[in-house]
Structure 1
Amino acid sequence: MVANVVNDYGVKLPESALMWNLPDFDKHECIHMVHDEATGLRAIIALHSTYLGPAAGGTRFWHYTDPAHAITDALRLSRGMSYKNAMADLPMGGGKAVILAGNDGRKTPEMLAAFGNAVNDMGGRYVTAEDVGMTDADMVALSQKTSFVSGLPTDNANNAGGDPGPFTAQGVYLGVKAAVAEGLKTDDLRGVRIAIQGVGSVGGKLARLLAADGAKLFLADVVHDRVAALAEELGAEHVGLDDIMQVEADVFSPNALGAILDDRSLETLSAKVIAGGANNQLAEARHASVLHTRGITYAPDYVINAGGIISVAREYLGQRDGVHCSVDSVMAEVSKIPARLHEIWAQSRTDNVPAANVADAMAQAKIGRI
């Protein structure tokens, strides 16, 4: 359901209340507002584009202090999925779902069942998978109510499936190395100072890969014990969450939530390279020009972090075709991420246009928007 011009009380709503007048509405094909009173489920499923195929994108379980932020998240993330899937050459459109968690963060089997029914009611236009706050076990629960779900565990180590985090981390790792080569003109990570914001499923694996290459790491995360243990394991420096963007580093790698590159943070950022797995890193589109003007090498987020959706999409499509997708074949696709980034940077240099804008134009062309 979307907002009506007249509400249930016969009161005419202002134009600003209409979904398509929200700042982040981008010709989205469909926005479903889901409410199941019996289970307490409140969710938003946003489909940005099905031009290339069914809209694929994970479900985020998150507590929003303001429900309006959940709508913004769904709109921005679903658009990002359209771009991500297009740039990864996947025959999938872009969609995203957010489940609004309560103050207690409680997630019940009944709530997941209700959400599974909501996904199923969309008849295959939306394919879900895990995202922040969701697990592969949750995907199994959803699969009891719908077949339009991926990221399901597999008992064959050679088959893609389950947690897509390792594939995302591998792609980001390859993208960081490509960005270092582009921005710092070196293929050697030894001694390169990398500040990593967020060391969860993706950031933690990324940190281990970079540490193995000899990078000097600064780590920050909202979970103190997790980041402290990882810093000790890797011989990295544990930095406060509020300080990680002020560290004297060569590379800043955001791997938590988005919108962290804003006027305030960019004013003090010393890194010459930004490459990380977080979605929607730019607080506003205009910040792409700030990075470009300052000569900062930026890896567009939906290009560098595509490893997970490559795994999820190939798993889902393989299930539909009756052919299991192998881990090796997924990794072969993930290995193409650096080449895509270098193509974007080359055009950015040639046209003197921010890398983020170059990537957006490429993606929009692929989904028939320009």
Structure 2
Amino acid sequence: MLFEAMEKEGFEQVVFCQDEVSGLKAIIAIHDTTLGPALGGCRMWPYESEEEALIDVLRLAKGMTYKNAAAGLNLGGGKTVIIGDPKQDKSEAMFRALGRYVESLNGRYIIAEDVGTTVQDMDAIHEETDYVTGISESFGASGNPSPMTARGVYVSMKRSAKEVYGNDSLSGKTVAIQGCGNVAYALSELLYQEGAKLIVTDIHQEALERSVRQFSAEAVKPEDIYRVKADIFAPCALGGILNDQTIPQLKVKIVCGSANNQLLETKKHGQLLQEKGILYAPDYIVNSGGVINVADELKCYHPERAMKKIDEIYEQIGKVFEIARDEKIIPALAADHLAEKRIQEMLQVKSTFLAKEHSLLTRRV
């Protein structure tokens, strides 16, 4: 069943990692390395089963292939999941054990932080391998990627506003933000500074109150965020939240947020949004600021260079909207086409190169 799933979705490698001493139980999935070594975060989550963890890591790894390709990075897609509760199961020994597994892959996979992991966890991994990004600034790295991810969402939101309203100003616009975590908080600050009105929700009361206090935001219950009247809806928490139940409730013109896999079913729910007159900014392009930032560490981190690259997401989102118009498809599929075209072009280059090499070797023989 596993090999069947790998073959169907084009996966190259899946590594199951366990360490009895630290209690590590993790899965590393490498989807595609056509454009370069796989780069993707490490998620720690209390999965209910090993099968659930495997399904998640495969889905996330493939998503990273598309994200990195669409972002113009010379990197493939991969992901790690650790089975465990990040609030009580973590240890330095666990992450160092994981670091040894990453090191054993000899650079085919580069790890970074994700849901449930931190800069400090990456520092522990760094004790065992150099194939890690998002480590502490004291190492000359970028540290917490959340502000850079938020920056990418912000410029995507501005470009989406230009598409719908004719200009990219967010001043006076009402933005409903689902989630008040690190990325959402940094995004809220940028929006507040431009003069946007914020409506926020979160299951964590402390985080919610912080956003209300800092940005004069209006707080609503989690189940009410879909029904508020706003210009833009920004999902910045869980995936799969755009579905048969929630889309009919939306009273917005744009959906643009940082959460991964927002559409429960890409084609079905992307089409449903379009029929409702709502512009959807594809999530893996919108939230690519974080991976663009940590990828810059591979070239000796330069924050201004990273920021310039992140600001280019503005043009990339515009290109997606243009493809969607020209090909008469939904933006989610247009983003896929953009990523797949880049991968196919590189495969063609590699194929041509190998053919020439083979020809030269044949002549020598």
TM normalised by structure 1 equals 0.88
Instruction: Give structure 2 stretches of 5+ with no counterpart.
Output: 349-365
Structure 1 residue 19 displacement after superposition: 4.9
Matching residue within 59, 62, 72 for 1:79: 62
What is the DSSP-based 3-state SS (H/G/I as helix, E as strand, rest coil) of the residue aligned with 1:57?
Answer: strand
Q: Which runs of 5+ in 1 are unaligned?
A: 1-16, 319-323
Specify which of 187, 190, 194 is matched with residue 168 of structure 2. 187
Residue 8 (structure 1) aligns with: none
C-alpha separation in 1, matches of 2:335 and 2:43:
25
| Alignment deviations for residues 61-109 of structure 1 (CA, whole Å, 9 cap, x no partner) | 1112343332222112111111111111111111111111149642011
The question of whether the paired residues in 2 share the 8 Å contact of 1:46 and 1:75 is answered with yes
Equivalent in the alignment of 1:13: none
1:312 alignment partner in structure 2: 294
- 1:189-208 to 2 correspondence within 5 Å? 189-208=170-189
8 Å contact kept, 1:20–1:27? no
Query: Alignment partner for residue 117 of structure 1, among 91, 96, 100?
Result: 100
Return 284-293 or 140-149, whichever deviates more.
Answer: 284-293
State the number of aligned residues: 345
Match for residue 291 of structure 1 among 242, 251, 273: 273
Q: CA deviation at 1:185?
A: 2.9
Q: Which residue of 1 aligns with 2:219?
A: 238
> Does structure 2 retain, via aligned residues, the 8 Å contact 1:116–1:142?
yes
CA contact (8 A) 2:176 2:233 kept: yes
2:29 corresponds in structure 1 to 46
CA contact (8 A) 1:195 1:219 kept: yes
Q: How has the CA–CA distance of structure 1 residues 245 and 52 changed in structure 2, closer, same or farther, with 3 Å as cutoff?
A: same
Q: Deviations over 1:113-138 (max 9, x none)?
A: 21111111111111001111111111
The alpha carbon displacement at 1:331 in A equals: 0.6
Counterpart-to-counterpart distance in 1, 2:19 and 2:141: 33
- Contact 2:135 2:141 (C-alpha < 8 Å) held by counterparts: no
RMSD: 1.9
8 A contact 2:36–2:75 mirrored in 1: yes
Cα-to-partner distance string for 1:284-342 (whole Å, 9 max, x where unaligned) = 12222222222211111111111111111110x22xxxxx3311101110110010111
CA distance in 2, matches of 1:39, 1:154: 27
Q: Which residue of 2 aligns with 1:277?
A: 258
What is the CA-CA distance between 1:160 and the residue it aligns to?
5.2
| Number of the residue aligned with 2:325 | 349
Aligned counterpart, 1:224: 205
The code of the aligned residue for 2:203 comes to V
Counterpart code for 1:43: A
What percentage of aligned pairs have identical amino acids?
Answer: 40
3-state secondary structure, aligned to 1:271 = coil
**Aligned pair 1:145/2:121, yes or no?**
no
Name the structure where helix makes up a greater proportion of residues. Answer: 2
What SS does the aligned partner of 1:242 have? helix
The alpha-carbon deviation at position 25 of structure 1 amounts to 5.9
Match of 1:129 in 2: 112
- Give distance in 2, aligned partners of 1:331 and 1:278: 20
